[in-house]
Amino acid sequence: MQRIEGQRVFVHQDLRDTEGWWFYWCFGVRNAAGRRLMFQFTNKDVFTARGPALSLDGGKSWQWLGRQAVQGTGFQYCVPANTDEVRFCLAMPYLEANLAEFVARHRGRREFSVREHCRTRRGRLTERLHLGQLTAEPAHRVLLTCRHHACEMMASWVLEGLMEAVLGAGEDGQWFRHHVEIAAVPFMDKDGVEEGDQGKNRRPHDHNRDYLGQPIYPSVAALKAFAPQWSQGKCRVVLDLHCPYIRGTRDENIFLVGQPDAKVNAQIERFSALLAEACTGPLPYHPKWNIPFGTGWNTEKEPRMFSRWAATLPGIALAATLEFPYATAGGKEVNVATARRFGQDLAHAIRRFLETLA
């Protein structure tokens, strides 16, 4: 916060170790019941296609305030009477506490375990979840990662929805628990997530540019050591879940990022068709929204990014980055419920991909 002038609060996002400009922010307001406040951001427009996200219950649930609340680079809100605290955020946060709730729901099941992936620079536990077929040798292994960029929170709800499908009572869950072991790292940048960092374009480079040579981040070093040993040639699918830019035509669709390797890219195209068929929930996906290698910003050949590095693992068929929008996907609202539902569709697409793998 910079200053308060009457009913106007001047704020800006924290760019403490970010190279250039980015847009993540989150804050709370107390002791303002009944007041109409204007929150003026002083470092450009930092709002999604649906404006800010709002919580009136201490972050337990979130809703979009709407783009109509935005005025230039600020937004107005009238705090309801008898409301002790209101929280605002770029989107709908997913933190360590949210993961703990997921873990508590499934703790003790033989198809689920939580292991230490590493300790962060600040001593936090980075969890690695194993789920599916854990009591016998699986036919396939799948590796999932999220939050290489700390601010990309909506992708975490997708991952949670996918994991719920794997552990659920439906046909997909039963199939996964018989055939597949999944390893998932929900927070590759745990410190950044918990401390409110942008994460994207972190100096000297961010977590998703740390895979070429000796890593500087403990979670990346641990993953580079773990994945080849754990895979034993059976890791067929690697997906790295992200959120794209804050908004815009391309960034308001779900898309996959093409690879320079022709064989891996052919499998991305095959998976794209299966994912389009699998999307029976509220959020659409179409392969035409993908970003092929060599177009736009997708020009990096060297394996600096996780998905580029993962494409070199023995036995790999599909290694890709999936970008999931912050607020709008194919014209439909992205929120906690729809993100989780897309995660279920994504799980089904992975199942179909593995079932039809030659």
Output the CATH code of domain 96-355.
Answer: 3.40.630.10
Q: What is the pLDDT of residue 88?
A: 99
Q: Mean pLDDT, to the nearest integer, of 321-329?
A: 99
DSSP strand pairing (255-257 vs 318-323): antiparallel
SS (H, E, C) the chain: CCEEECCEEEECCCCCCECCCCCCCEEEEECCCCCEEEEEECCCCCCECCECEEECCCCCCCEECCHHHEECCEEEEECCCCCCEEEEECCCCCCHHHHHHHHHHHCCCCCEEEEEEEECCCCCEEEEEEEECCCCCCCEEEEEEECCCCCCCHHHHHHHHHHHHHHCCCHHHHHHHHHEEEEEECCCCHHHHHHCCCCCCECCCCHHHCCCCCCCCHHHHHHHHHHHHHHCCCEEEEEEEECCCCCCCHHHCCEEECCCCHHHHHHHHHHHHHHHHHCCCCCCCCHHHCECCCECCECCCCCCCHHHHHCCCCCCCEEEEEECCCCEECCEECCHHHHHHHHHHHHHHHHHHHHCCC
Whether 39 shows a pLDDT value over 80: the answer reads: yes
CB 136, CB 180: distance < 8 Å: no
Q: What is the pLDDT of residue 97?
A: 98
> Model confidence at 106, in pLDDT bands (50, 70, 90)?
very high
48: tokens are: 């999604």
Q: What is the pLDDT of residue 42?
A: 98
Q: What is the pLDDT of residue 183?
A: 99
Q: What is the pLDDT of residue 308?
A: 97
Give the pTM: 0.98
Q: Mean pLDDT, to the nearest integer, of 34-40?
A: 98
Q: What is the pLDDT of residue 205?
A: 98
Whether 164 shows a pLDDT value over 80: the answer reads: yes
Whether 338 shows a pLDDT value over 80: the answer reads: yes
Whether 252 shows a pLDDT value over 90: the answer reads: yes
Is-cis flag, bond preceding 204, omega within 30?
Answer: yes
> Model confidence at 280, in pLDDT bands (50, 70, 90)?
very high
Q: What is the pLDDT of residue 339?
A: 99
Helix axis angle, 154-167 to 171-179, nearest 10°? 80
Residue 300 CA, chain-centre distance (Å), reads 21
Q: What is the pLDDT of residue 304?
A: 96
CB 157, CB 336: distance < 8 Å: yes
Share of the chain above pLDDT 90, in %: 99
Whether 358 shows a pLDDT value over 80: the answer reads: no
- The amino acid at residue 245 is Y
Nearest C-alpha neighbor of 230 from the set 112, 317, 142, 108:
142
Instruction: Give tens-digit pLDDT for 194-247.
Output: 999 999 999 999 999 999 999 999 999 999 999 999 999 999 999 999 999 999
Q: What is the pLDDT of residue 117?
A: 99
Q: Mean pLDDT, to the nearest integer, of 147-176?
A: 99
- Domain layout of the chain by residue ranges: 3-89, 96-355
d(CA 157, CA 95): 10
Q: What is the pLDDT of residue 192?
A: 99
39: tokens are: 């929150």
